[in-house]
Amino acid sequence: MTSRLVAVLVIVLLQALPAAAQSLGQVAAEEAARRKAITSPARVMGDADLRADYPVTTPTDVPAWPDDAAALDPSTPRRLVEPASLQGGPLPVIPVMAVAGGEVFLEVAVNTEGRVSAVTPFRDTPPFTDTLSAAVKAWSFEPATDAAIPAAGQPIDDRTRRPAASKVLVVGLFRPPALFANTLGEPPKNVGAPSEDVPAPAGAARMPDYPVNAMFDGVVLVELQLGVDGSVMRRRLLRSSPAFDGPALVAVDALSFRPARVRGAAVPSVAYVVLGFRQPITQ
């Protein structure tokens, strides 16, 4: 029974092969006839057709690579062109048990990601040094940038700018809880020398006055952008405490700085001044 079924299937397939061959032959003949009937064939595009009259996309200017390929080499001498800029962070809490005021100078290292990597005091007044240092360690920055040093007479090539590790100066001036600045307590003292690549206060700092129309305590934060000669190019009030802003700016304007130098060259720098006010104790 099985052999008979197989024989029937073979016969059916053999009968279908001529029909399939005849069908394919007809299709080929019809396609040849269709092609002969075309009087205007489609134009084939070549390289010569890709002219400016037929842009394939909207043209976009692509800046050229620097003429000196060494400008992109990490070993190429570089120059700091933009100091780090504070983006956010807490202000210090004024110690309520302190009976005196204080001065604190901090050298703050900022890495290429804008995080504080080290805080080094070089002027110290307990307990304000620890309080200010703890706050500054939580600050975040837009990192500094440097660039390849150009040939003499040429401008900085912005394409060579890179984030750079840098240092900023933080000054803390904490007023004592008294109408006059002279009070009991441990006086400020120098505990080290700042690095050459951070600006440093030149001369004595001025303690801010407590305003007569103020109540309670207050903290003000001021940013000073310094030029290559250490002069103040711009000041910004980053954290305001309205009753204390005026006296704070008067004290800040009395500060002067020696310039920062990186790899032997004077560079722009930045200083942050924290001014703390304690309400005077009159009893």
Give the lowest-confidence range in 54-68, 120-134, 143-157, 264-278: 54-68
Q: How far apart are CA 82 and CA 100, in angstroms?
A: 37
105 with 255: CB under 8 angstroms? Answer: no
Predicted confidence band at 258 (pLDDT cuts at 50, 70, 90)?
very high
Please give the structure tokens belonging to residue 111.
């890495």
Answer yes or no: is pLDDT of 198 > 60: yes
Q: How far apart are CA 63 and CA 76, in angstroms?
A: 21
Query: Alpha carbon of 120 to those of 137, 141, 152, 169, 236: distances in Å?
Result: 11, 17, 37, 10, 24
pTM of the predicted model, to two decimals? Answer: 0.73
Please give the structure tokens belonging to residue 213.
């129309």
- Predicted confidence (pLDDT) per residue in 113-170, tens digit: 999 999 999 999 999 999 999 999 999 999 999 999 888 888 888 889 999 999 999 9
Mean pLDDT of 30-48: 65
The residue type of 3 is S
- Give the pLDDT score at 50: 46
Task: Give me the percent of the chain exceeding a pLDDT of 90.
Answer: 53
80 with 228: CB under 8 angstroms? Answer: no
Please give the structure tokens belonging to residue 97.
């048990």
Mean pLDDT of 53-72: 51
Burial class (CB in 10 A: 0-12, 13-18, 19+), 187: exposed
108 with 166: CB under 8 angstroms? Answer: no
Q: How far apart are CA 160 and CA 147, in angstroms?
A: 5
Average pLDDT, the chain: 83
